[in-house]
Structure 1
Amino acid sequence: MLSSRETLLLVIDVQGRLAQSVVQPAALETNISKLVRACLILDVPVLVTEQYPKGLGSTVDTLKELLPGMVPVEKLSFSCCGTPEFMKQLRSFNRNDILVVGMEAHVCVYQTAVDLVEFGYNVHLVTDAVSSRTEANRLLGIRCIEKAGASLTSTEMAVFELLRVAEGERFKAISKIIKE
């Protein structure tokens, strides 16, 4: 089970023009935005990466606006774990459960998830918050990530698992986010 004290949200490479060329780009941005907003309410840290931003552009504006002051970890390796600065930041949060979202499911998300599993992290792939340029590659990435040992979840499932109880101001705020 996910807990807000043990979880980190990892947003992988939701950048520039590539973000508009994936399957269901609006749904991808909407679901990742919901997760980011819920994590901010629940004090779950968010770590963002960018693959070669000089060529692919920066993180999409909708996510940058939710995370003012956020400095994405720039990378050239497909796996986030291949970048020492990423590993340094990830370890500094001291969280064992990693909610993984972003793109592309069959490349950077896949390679990162496999590496995180090998490093002993509990990887939770948010299947409605990952995408690729083709549906076949998106589905293949999800299947291979699950086969590597990750758990599958959805935006709503993960948020309510982190929340745990249907009461209080945090529940009201998160319910509003989910209903949007």
Structure 2
Amino acid sequence: MLHPDNSALLFIDVQGKLAQQMPQAEQLFHRLEQLLRGALTLGLPIIWMEQNPEGLGGTLPRFVGLLEGRSPLVKQSFSGWAEPGIRAAIVASGAQQLLLCGIEAHVCVYQSASDLLAAGYEVQVVADAVASRDPNNRQLALDRLVGDGAQLTSVEMALFELLGGADNPAFPALLSVIKQRADD
């Protein structure tokens, strides 16, 4: 079970034209927005990564607005854990349970998750908030990660798990985030 005092969200490389090439991009973006809003509501540390922004472009503006007051951590390695600044941010968060979302599932999400598992973290990949240009690559990444010890979750499952119960003061705000439709 996820616990809000021991969890962090890793928001991985939702950038430029590459993000627009994901299958069902608008549905993916909606789920990413829900996840970010939920993490913010619950006060989770958010570690925001960008892969080579000079080459790929920056994070899509719709997410930059949600992440106001934060700065992306730039990486050249596909694995966030391989970058000293990102590694330091993860360690500084104090979290042992890491939720991963973003793109591409079979490259940066997969390599980050694999390295985090090897480092002893509990990794949960938010399956409905990760994508690859080729859905077969996404599925292969999810299958391999489960085989390596990662757990799969969904946006709603993770947020309700972190919430814990309807008596949590954040329940009304989180319920509003979860009920928000993609066309709102």
Structure 2 partner of 1:81 = 81
Structure 1 partner of 2:16 = 16
Please give the per-residue CA displacement for 1:49-97, whole angstroms capped at 9, x wherever unaligned: 0000001011111111111121111011111111111101111111000
Q: Which amino acid aligns with 1:112?
A: S
1:124 partner SS: strand
The whole-number CA distance in structure 2 between the counterparts of 1:21 and 1:136 is: 15
Q: Which amino acid aligns with 2:172?
A: K
Dislocated runs of 4+, deviation >4 Å: none
| Higher deviation after alignment, 102-111 or 20-29 | 20-29
Q: CA deviation at 1:115?
A: 0.3
Q: CA deviation at 1:22?
A: 1.1
Q: CA deviation at 1:23?
A: 1.6
The Cα RMSD (Å) is 0.9
The whole-number CA distance in structure 2 between the counterparts of 1:39 and 1:146 is: 23
Structure 2 partner of 1:64 = 64
The whole-number CA distance in structure 1 between the counterparts of 2:130 and 2:178 is: 17
Mapped pair 1:151 → 2:151: yes
Structure 1 partner of 2:139 = 139
The whole-number CA distance in structure 2 between the counterparts of 1:79 and 1:72 is: 15
Calculate percent identity across the aligned residue pairs: 43
The whole-number CA distance in structure 2 between the counterparts of 1:79 and 1:10 is: 12
TM-score, reference length from structure 1: 0.97
- Structure 1 runs not aligned, ≥5 long: none
1:107 partner SS: helix
1:48 partner SS: strand
